[in-house]
Amino acid sequence: MGSLFRVVVIGGVAAGTKTASKITRLRPDADVTVLEKGEFLSYAGCGLPYFVSGVVKTQHELMATPVGVVRDSVFFSKVKNVHVLNHTEALAIDRTRKHVRFRRADNGEESELPYDKLMLGTGANPVIPPLPGVELRNVFTLHGVHDAVGVRDMLREHRALDVVIVGGGLIGLEMTEALVETGCRVTVVEMLPQILPMLDWEMAKQVEQHLESHGVRVMTGTRVLGFEGDGAVHHVRTDHGELSADMVILSVGVRPNVSLAVAAGLKLGPTGAIAVNDRMQTSDPDIYAAGDCVENKNLLTGKPCFVPLGSTANKQGRVAAINICGGDDTFPGVLGSTVCKVFDFCVGRTGLTETEARREGIDVETVLAPSPDKAHYMPTAKTLMLKLVIDRGSRKLLGAQAVGPGDGSKRIDVAAMALTASMTVDQLDKVDLCYAPPFSPAMDNLITAADVGRNKLDGHMTGVTPMDVYAKQQRGEDFIFLDVRSPEEYGEVQLPGTINIPLGALRKRFNELDRNKEIITFCKISLRGYEAALILRAAGFDRVRVMDGGLAMWPYPKVTV
């Protein structure tokens, strides 16, 4: 019988516990020990906003298996054959002796554990800006269970009326619904020109307007200067004035927790996270790392990136475990696929945004395509706004974004598969997706968007973005902004500077249009706008473009009649 195979795992949330559990499945003879600094093991951090809102009733549900068994140290010992030491902080890694020094929080005693293989799942730490007053009570990060409990208790006891969320990131925005429903006045303060930098501006603007429609104040381009209060926070100072605040939630991102790795001399990547190869090995072949502490590779650009997600952590943990046990598995990289819920809006993205693609020097075509997520005659149909980013040269899909009350998650997932397979829009528009009126239109939203992309690439449609149209208006350019909706629709809401000729009457009213001027057509979603452009071009109008996304995706003020 061979010597004992000893594995030490530092970090007991996502990547660490996934690695430990998979190792004991592959090597029942392995001696696996998990060191976790905190109290809670294998908890669903992304579920914290729903614990605060009450959708998830208890914190134990975030740490339970699908059948309700809490994943505590006893569970890992009896079911997984994994030794778990929580409240235990790893202090140092001795790579020469292959030992980890640690300290127990209960008695302060220090000790060592030997290892044959070491796994780092140290995660990431919330960014806490070095601002005056950031240490005041009721300033939370919502990065762990303790903060979530503090926020929930304040809401339940109605001790928070004015809440300021610093940063327009995912966790903070997912919290807004719970805060508003409790009666809080919520203000989101974002330093950048837009919230949700994972989206392009016009898509993020739709989310911003949705937040405002639910009473949330959004202040972009605003810098927080400090926090004031007597023990507990009372005000937030910004470069655009002072805000009342009974509670502050910091949502300005996370940084990889690499202190142990740095002290041990392990290599970091250009993003500041731990550098690993596709087998999840660090610069020391006996030390592996996975999850929010490691650097990833962007599947489309091949460049290093830092995209901390629980889904990625679990996949990487499995890969690490297989290789630790002598197998051969690889993790290819990520697309940054992300989805979140903001009130009743689904917000998702995968691949490259237009901004990112242009930064890479790629010549891109874009598509804005709003439409119902199910057959339009179904009472459950809801609007979904899609944006595609396409490489003009190769015609390959580069990225997709989805915003709206419709089902965006499955469209983003299909787009992620298309990106993984390096599909062109010509291939994507023929994918055999399911169709039934309660679930999707006959031509799925993603397929319709791919067809719009093909029409643009093939020269059948010349598009112009709402942002470019608005810029033309601001510059005072003389063009015809033609709304081809019905008179009834036009009478309800309009865009500034438009004229209305319904599509069915267009052929009889050519004489009302100046052939020397550029004409930009649109309707609610610009399907009729596209038809109008084809009619005008056939009639000899040679300066015709279609406004992408139509009225539905116009991100500026509209005129309500």
Q: Which helix (H) or strand (E) holds 500?
A: strand 498-500
Question: Which CATH number describes the domain made up of 344-457?
Answer: 3.30.390.30
- Sheet strands side by side (includes 99-104): 88-94, 99-104, 110-114
Superfamily assignment of 139-252 in CATH? FAD/NAD(P)-binding domain (3.50.50.60)
Q: Give me the architecture of the 463-560 domain, per CATH.
A: 3-Layer(aba) Sandwich (3.40)
pLDDT digits (tens, 9 = 90+) for 394-427: 999 999 999 999 999 999 999 999 999 999 999 9
Show the DSSP H helices in 459-519 as ranges: 466-474, 487-492
As annotated, the active-site residues are 46
Under CATH, to which class is 6-124+255-324 assigned?
alpha beta
pLDDT, the chain, mean: 92
Q: Distance (Å, rounded) from C-alpha 55 to C-alpha 358?
A: 40
What is the per-residue pLDDT for 13? 82
Residue intervals in the chain for CATH 3.50.50.60: 6-124+255-324, 139-252
Residue intervals in the chain for CATH 3.40.250.10: 463-560
| Between residues 361 and 45, the one the model is more confident about | 361
Q: Residue 433 has which token pair?
A: 């997706």
Q: Distance (Å, rounded) from C-alpha 23 to C-alpha 20?
A: 5
**What DSSP character marks residue 518?**
-
Q: Which residues make Cβ contacts (< 8 Å) with residue 488, sequence separation at least 6?
A: none
pLDDT digits (tens, 9 = 90+) for 129-186: 999 999 999 999 877 777 778 888 888 887 789 999 999 988 889 889 889 988 899 9
**What DSSP character marks residue 334?**
B
pLDDT digits (tens, 9 = 90+) for 177-216: 889 988 899 999 999 999 999 999 999 999 999 999 999 9
What is the per-residue pLDDT for 1? 39
The answer to whether residue 70 scores a pLDDT higher than 80 is: no
Q: Answer whether 88's CB lies under 8 Å from 106's CB.
A: no
Residue intervals in the chain for CATH 3.30.390.30: 344-457
Q: Answer whether 124's CB lies under 8 Å from 308's CB.
A: yes
pLDDT digits (tens, 9 = 90+) for 271-297: 999 999 999 999 999 999 999 999 999
Please report the beta strands in 239-392, taking only residues with DSSP state E, as ranges in sequence order.
Answer: 241-244, 247-250, 254-256, 287-289, 296-297, 304-305, 338-342, 345-351, 364-372, 383-391
